[in-house]
Structure 1
Amino acid sequence: MHLNPYLFFNGQCESAFKFYEKCLGGKITAMMTYGESPMAEQTPPEWRNKILHAHLMLGDQELMGADAPPEMFEAAQGFYVSLHFTNPSEAEHIFNALEENGTIRMALQETFWASRFAMLVDQFGTPWMINCDPREGE
């Protein structure tokens, strides 16, 4: 079994995935618009440039996403995408990148379980948790 998050956006998927590619150091391996799909003719013209499917590789991890049609979009709630690090500098770097124009829910700080922990919602509405325990890398 393989588990990976699939994020839905309100028309911002392309911008979000380009941002994640830059922030997280990944590689976008696929990005198909509704207009490039077999269902292009059934898609309203104003929606044809929106993303039907995006795929980002982060090492051997995957992040996928799409623009949800307006009548199907719901803002993210009830979950966080959790990123785990063993290097505090890397955790700080990713936190600082993702927080750009976002909302910090819990500032990056030391906790009883981690050398660094934070919670934020990025500028695209995706909730993230940053967790760093250097002992995990030992």
Structure 2
Amino acid sequence: MTTLNPYLNFNGNAEEAFNFYKSVFGGEFLGLQRFKDMPEDEKSPGHIPEKDQDLILHIALPIGNNILMASDCIEAFGYRAVFGSSNYISVQPDSEEETRRIFNALSAGGDIERPLEEMFWGDLFGSFTDQFGIKWMVNYEMKKE
């Protein structure tokens, strides 16, 4: 089966965001590469400015059976992350307690769109934009009696 893993872009704060996500989900980074680690060759966009050397080229954090990955966009390469409303990361925890913990931890300092509450379809659901501009949905399938 094909695996889909979210890949996020940040404007210089990928490391801060991923340290925060690691504090919520636990685990260890599978990899962390900085732009200064990128080899210079004919395919690279040129010299990486000093201010961008320590930014994240690639970072990966396993969460359950998935891997959340990211990089910083650097303007020297012509990139800038633009945050919008077209994507969410959807999390389905294994328990109501874990759902509440993840929702409260990830939404801290962010903007809650829909508070975590039991929905008409019977699940515990909430959505928000975290402090880094990433949109999340947290959904726990309540046990039907």
Q: TM-score over 0.5 for the alignment?
A: yes
Q: Does 1:75 align with 2:76?
A: no
CA positional deviation for 1:112:
1.8
Q: Which amino acid aligns with 2:81?
A: E
Structure 2: gaps of 5 or more residues: none
1:92-103 matches, cutoff 5 A: 92-103=100-111
Q: Which structure shows the bigger proportion of residues in strand conformation?
A: 1
Q: Which amino acid aligns with 1:48?
A: Q
Q: Which amino acid aligns with 2:69?
A: M
Per-residue displacement from partner, 1:84-119 (whole Å, max 9, x unpaired)?
123111000001100111110111110022431011
- Preserved CA contact (<8 Å) 2:115 2:126: yes
Per-residue displacement from partner, 1:28-64 (whole Å, max 9, x unpaired)?
1111110122149720111001000001111321000
Q: Which residue of 2 aligns with 1:11?
A: 12
Q: TM-score, with normalisation over the residues of structure 2?
A: 0.86
Partners of 2:24 and 2:119 lie apart in 1 by 24
Partners of 1:114 and 1:76 lie apart in 2 by 31
- Preserved CA contact (<8 Å) 2:114 2:128: yes
Q: TM-score, with normalisation over the residues of structure 1?
A: 0.90
CA positional deviation for 1:75:
2.5
Deviating more after overlay: 85-94 vs 6-15: 85-94
The percent of aligned pairs where both chains have the same amino acid is: 35
Structure 1: gaps of 5 or more residues: none
CA positional deviation for 1:5:
0.4
Q: Cα gap change, 1:114/1:19 in structure 2, threshold over 3 Å: closer, same or farther?
A: farther
